[in-house]
Amino acid sequence: MSKNELTRRSMLKAGVAGLATPTVFAGAAWSFTNDPQGGAVTLGFNVPQTGPYADEGADELRAYELAVEHLNGGGDGGMINTFSSKTLDGTGILGQKVEFVTGDTQTKGDAARASAKSMIEKDNAIMITGGSSSSVAVAVQGLCQEAGIIFMAGLTHSNDTTGKDRKANGFRHFFNGYMSGAALAPVLANRYGTDRKAYHLTADYTWGWTQQESIANSTEALGWETINNVMTPLASTDFSAYIAPVLNSGADVLVLNHYGGNMVNSLTNAVQFGLRDKEVNGKNFEIVVPLYSRLMARGAGENVKGILGSTNWHWSLPDDGTRAFVQSFGTKYGFPPSQAAHTCYVQALLYADAVNRAGSFNPCAVVEALEGFEFDGLGNGPTLYRADDHQCFKDVLVVQGKENPTSEFDVLEVVEVTPRAQVEYPADHPMFGGAEASLGNCNPGA
């Protein structure tokens, strides 16, 4: 749990420090960074608008625009109507009209920090949210912590975001690698048996490392053996040299710890090499993609059919929150939202609600309002924003590529909703930085 420093003494100390030391995020010394003035509050949407994840970024932006519309009383209200907290009434946030600015992360840490910094300094953004990569999320979260701004992460799945790199000003609604492993492993054991030999191909960066570790741990606990883990450069486009030796390795399962273009290409290559048609150790050879994205899965075409993975959310869920969001998003844009869009929309609503409940835009008040907050009606069932690490805990979906899709959006189908209790872990879990991991102090900035 972060230490909330919103006390008279700390305010005075911050004021003195603010007067004495000019900082890049200078504001009113007695207040907090970017205290909204003039009847409007500005949110900063930092998403990939160029680069390989631009389509995912565009979907995030659509969701944010929809959230702003709903917060300001426009449209049908979407998930505001199903949200268990009832502070959002269509009058903006704390009665201030919601405006927004956008930045382009380019899916590069330095570019993402630069765009976030610009939105904070030049546009007076009170909160930064969005993103489609864990390395970007970790980088921007660090910047927001320094700046005294709340960061509501977008799509980031690395354990590190709320693990060793957790920050008091940062919050993640999206699930993580550990949760994928915990949800997926029992389904894999059930479908493919417990006597399996797995060969991992892993994207060589923070997300890949933590996901591989999570999946290997979860599957080994159920009897699987991990016989090899090969790191592949993030810039790889052709995976044939990595895939060709798999069949000769004695493995009967290939786990692709890849996302985005890497996933599309490695899965396509694996299917090309006929892996799915082979029999090894007397069993059918299987492929697993632990983290699915519908937008990306479309790129792999028919190759995803029948392949198991996990997602944070899917538009086909039957709950009221999901139906409200899909109706609202689909009516406005003509197609169903992605899981990236969902998590971003939810994060915007959660932030707005936290400010309303806190009665202040002060980041430390918002942190206090979000920590330990339990809610429902936002598409994932009852959810907890855990105070210890600012990670949301909720049900996780196990999905598989659909055999007979009815449309280009109908790529995945939910095969199991893994209950929240099954994916929970202690905040000082070794995969999340252990006992040394700490949120640090909440920073109100200014």
274: which residues sit within 8 A by CB, 6+ positions away? none
**Interface with another protein by CB under 8 A: which range of 25-33, 263-271, 349-357, 386-394?**
263-271
Q: Rounded CA gap, 362 and 61, in Å?
A: 25
% helix / strand / coil in the chain, to the nearest 5? 40, 20, 40
Q: Which of 12, 16, 40, 244 binds another protein (CB under 8 A)?
A: 244
- Judged by CB under 8 A, how many residues of this single chain contact another protein? 50
Per-residue binding string, another protein, 45-74, x by CB under 8 A, is ------xxxxx-------------------
By CB under 8 A, tell whether 327 contacts another protein. Answer: yes
What region does 445 belong to: left with phi over 0, alpha with psi -120 to 50, or beta?
left
Per-residue binding string, another protein, 109-148, x by CB under 8 A, is ----------------------------------------
By CB under 8 A, tell whether 421 contacts another protein. Answer: no
- Kindly tell me which of 104 and 389 has the beta carbon lying closer to another protein: 104
By CB under 8 A, tell whether 405 contacts another protein. Answer: no
Per-residue binding string, another protein, 196-215, x by CB under 8 A, is --------------------
- In the region spanning residues 336 to 365, those forming contacts with another protein, defined by CB under 8 A, are 336
Q: Residue 30 — φ and ψ, nearest 5°?
A: -85, -5
C-alpha pair distances (Å), 358 with each of 148, 351, 364? 17, 10, 9
Q: Is 382 helix (H, G, I), strand (E, B) or coil?
A: coil
Q: Which of 301, 357, 417, 428 binds another protein (CB under 8 A)?
A: 301
**Interface with another protein by CB under 8 A: which range of 35-43, 108-116, 224-232, 349-357?**
224-232
Q: What residue has token string 């990569």?
A: 133
Q: How far is the CB of 25 from another protein (least distance, A)?
A: 32
By CB under 8 A, tell whether 404 contacts another protein. Answer: no
- Kindly tell me which of 20 and 235 has the beta carbon lying closer to another protein: 235
